[in-house]
Copies of this chain bind each other. A is one copy, B any other.
Amino acid sequence: MGKDFETAVLLDFYGDLLTDKQAQTLDLYYNEDLSLAEIAEPLGISRQGVRDSIKRGEKQLHDLEETLGLVKRFRDVKSDMVEIGEMFDEIRNYIQTFIHSDKLSAAVDKIAEKLDAINDKL
């Protein structure tokens, strides 16, 4: 069973709709990177029990995304933002190379910082 990044993202978006126990098991597995055995032991259940629980939780998360599509909606915005960042970097380089305006460079740097801050949130 691979620990895919996709499930971690879905957990971040929809985890609070799972039961506490379900969310906790998935959190330990995907975010804390514990093994099935490490999760099973303190709960007094089998590795297979943990595996089944994780599989059920994953299915719920994927079903929620299938229904709501909000991760996809966010990703669409993120991919547009990456494109804007690239276009913006070209402008920034052009200004630095050909225009030599301190005022313009400072304003452009400020937007670049803001773009980075948004991308960190997405």
Contact = CB atoms under 8 A, between A and B. Distances in A.
Interface of A: 13-14, 16-17, 64, 67-68, 70, 73-74, 76-77, 80-81, 83-84, 87-88, 90-91, 94-95, 98-99, 101, 103-104, 107-108, 110-111, 114-115, 117-118, 121-122
Nearest to A122: B77
Nearest to A16: B67
B84 A111 contact: yes
Main secondary structure of the interface of A (DSSP, over half): helix
Given A77-B118, A94-B107, 10 more contacts: A13-B68, A16-B68, A17-B64, A73-B121, A74-B74, A84-B114, A94-B103, A94-B104, A99-B99, A99-B104
